[in-house]
Amino acid sequence: MMESTRKEANMAQDYPVSNALAGQTAWVLGGGSGLGAASAEALAAQGARVILSGRRAEALQRIAARIAQAGGTAECQPLDVTDRKAIAHVAAAIGPVDILVYSSGTNVPRRALADLRGDDWSRIVDVNLSGALHCTQAVLPGMRERGQGTVLVISSWAGWRMEPVAGVSYSATKHALPALCETINIEEGRNGIRATCLMPAEAATDVLDTRPNPPSAEARAKMLQASDIGNTVAFIAAAPARMCVNQLVMSPLHNNFYARG
């Protein structure tokens, strides 16, 4: 089998194809890699028009090309989620957004309380938490006007329970994201807008490389894969409008956090 054909076959297996989201626009923040890229591919496979945003334009273009090769529709809008004016500008350029997926996130190797630098704390808060708020605020008026919308925020297992490996900044910001999502449901549910906070445990993505001791290839193979989270995002986005998945915790069967506990 030719390499391109093999990749298309693998993608079709990873992301089931349907038209469940045809006519809808999905804006994926952090769409150039990891869980954001997987979410974008899964949403495109369901027929959504996907807008990819992130800091690295080349990475966004690679994912957009992969989506197009699989028969989907994707556009790129490079964006630094710490820039509020840029968020507003990109949101205006995109137009109405039906599905917002916030997957932007970061961490640092020196993450213990005794080692953490103040500028690293600020950067993690800006990316993991403040960016989620500002992107949500950018799309809410249009969702209210149309009377519907879905917001999916990817938090972490470290947003559900404390894990020493995550560090203080990452844990603090990821714990705050469920509160953001529940606030959306409390205040905007009456307007047809629903929010889900996804809290996956270890997933085999590049963010693992920021750990002081990155896991081996063998260990990563036992973790959740990016496509597991991507397909979950697509399932929630395509769920009946009357249904809200407020929070969802996911873990691999071989859960290293249990082993450490």
CATH number at residue 22: 3.40.50.720
Asked whether 2 and 26 are in contact (CB, 8 A), the reply is no
Domain presence at residue 2? no
Domain presence at residue 113? yes
Write down the residue that tokens 């992130």 correspond to. Answer: 54
Measured CA to CA in angstroms, residue 117 lies from 7, 33, 120, 121, 245 at distances of 42, 26, 5, 6, 36
Domain presence at residue 72? yes
pTM over 0.75: yes
Asked whether 99 and 24 are in contact (CB, 8 A), the reply is yes
Number of folded domains in the chain?
1
Both tokens of 210, joined, read 């920021």
Cβ within 8 Å of residue 181, ≥6 positions away: 151, 153, 195, 196, 197, 246, 247
Mean pLDDT by 10 residues, the chain (261 residues): 39 78 98 96 98 97 97 97 98 98 92 92 96 98 98 96 89 97 98 98 82 85 94 98 97 85 52
Write down the residue that tokens 């690295």 correspond to. Answer: 56
Domain presence at residue 95? yes
Q: What gap in Å lies between CA 163 and CA 245, rounded to an integer?
A: 24
Domain presence at residue 3? no
In one-letter notation, the amino acid at residue 155 is S
Domain presence at residue 87? yes
Domain presence at residue 219? yes
> Which pLDDT score is estimated for 259?
74
Query: Which residues are marked as active site?
Result: 170
Cβ within 8 Å of residue 49, ≥6 positions away: 24, 25, 26, 73, 74, 75
Look up the domain containing 130 and give its range: 18-260
Cβ within 8 Å of residue 48, ≥6 positions away: 21, 22, 24, 25, 26, 73, 98, 99, 237
Domain presence at residue 225? yes
Phi, psi torsion values for 73, nearest 5 degrees = -120, 125
